[in-house]
Amino acid sequence: MDPRLLLFENHLEFIATHRGPVRRHGDTVLVESERPEFCYAAPGRESWDPSLLDRFNVIHQLPWAPEALPHELARRGYHEFGGLTYQGMVPDTQHEARPDVDIRVVSNAEEMDLFTEIQCTDMVGREDARETWYAWYRAANQRNLANPTQTFYVATIGGSPAGVLMRLQKADIAGIYFAVTSPEHRKKGVYSSMVARACADAREADCSAITGQVSTGSSVLALDMKLGLKPVFRARIYRR
């Protein structure tokens, strides 16, 4: 299998367990969440059906998309508005972990609620968004608490919540998701410490690669590259 597809499959597993149903028509992928923000189609070259575009306002153009897709999207009024960069690195990549960052695996519902609180830290002061998304994230996180393919980490410094990260394993690929650092602990090595722990656990699980995704052009991309997560391919995102 194309190594890029292995990274993509890991992401689809994340979407299916945290965002909504993932349906397939040949090599075309349809994400049909109850939340419209998460719905999109990713047309494949072998199962290209232009009529599917009528059902989705967001389209992801992956490297294996049909060559005619950009022309068809322009004809139907779609405009490119961003992208998603898929990254990869080997688990043996060495990372410096701060000794004062304590990283523990979530093991019960109470600890998962703390994970969700930190996950939603950027929504402080935006109560309308927090009311909606906290409930969504909490339900999905609690639903996956016993999922053996997912490991939820909470980082603390001196007992103070410092960050969260989730590792999802599919086959021998480990994906990194939900990486959030509390505002008061940013730029202090918390993220790199969490990545170091995720990589160490991925090595123990005999994973061959670590993957993650980041919005194309995001400042996080430069940080991830310093940690060893290199761009592998990009999905161009179109909306109408």
Residue 114 and residue 42 in one domain: no
| pLDDT attached to residue 93 | 81
Count of domains forming the chain:
2
Residue 84 and residue 129 in one domain: no
| Residue 31 domain-assigned (yes or no) | yes
């028509």: which residue's tokens? Answer: 25
| pLDDT attached to residue 127 | 65
> How far is Cα 54 from Cα 154, in angstroms, rounded to an integer?
42
| Residue 138 domain-assigned (yes or no) | yes
Domain boundary among 63, 88, 113: 88
Residue 168 and residue 203 in one domain: yes
| pLDDT attached to residue 126 | 65
| pLDDT attached to residue 217 | 86
Q: What is the pLDDT along the chain (240 residues), one digit of tens a residue?
A: 789 999 999 999 999 999 999 999 999 999 999 999 999 999 999 988 888 888 999 999 999 999 999 999 999 999 999 999 999 999 888 888 889 999 999 999 999 999 999 999 876 556 667 777 899 999 999 999 999 999 999 999 999 999 999 999 999 999 999 999 999 999 899 999 999 999 999 999 999 999 999 999 888 888 899 999 999 999 999 999
CATH number at residue 155: 3.40.630.30
């940080």: which residue's tokens? Answer: 223
Range of the domain at 40: 3-88
| Residue 225 domain-assigned (yes or no) | no
* Element at 42 (helix H, strand E): strand 40-42
DSSP assignment letter at 158: T
Residue 81 and residue 147 in one domain: no
Residue 111 and residue 65 in one domain: no
| Residue 216 domain-assigned (yes or no) | no
Residue 26 and residue 75 in one domain: yes
Residue 141 and residue 83 in one domain: no
> How far is Cα 29 from Cα 65, in angstroms, rounded to an integer?
11
